[in-house]
Amino acid sequence: MKNKMKTKSAAKKRFRISKNGKVKYAHACGSHNFSNKKQSRKRKYRKAVIADSTNAPEVARMLPHGRP
């Protein structure tokens, strides 16, 4: 009997697979200490980021069932 592939818990909390199969994640440093950050910097934290093509296969391996 073949073993089932498990999703890495740390990866499922941090990454999502987009409709086109790209890896999306949130900006780092965007959750606290906003009083000493510029408004333009805080605005950039709201948007999601697409993972680099060199890192995307590694994340996809950690999320085996996350592909559309």
* Overall residue count recorded for the chain in this entry: 68
Pairing of strands 15-17, 48-50: unpaired
pTM of the model: 0.77
Q: Which residue has the higher pLDDT, 44 or 67?
A: 44
Please name the residues in contact with 56: beta carbons below 8 A apart, sequence gap of 6 or more. 22, 23
Residue 1 in this model has a pLDDT that exceeds 90? no
DSSP state of 46: H
41-56 average pLDDT score: 94
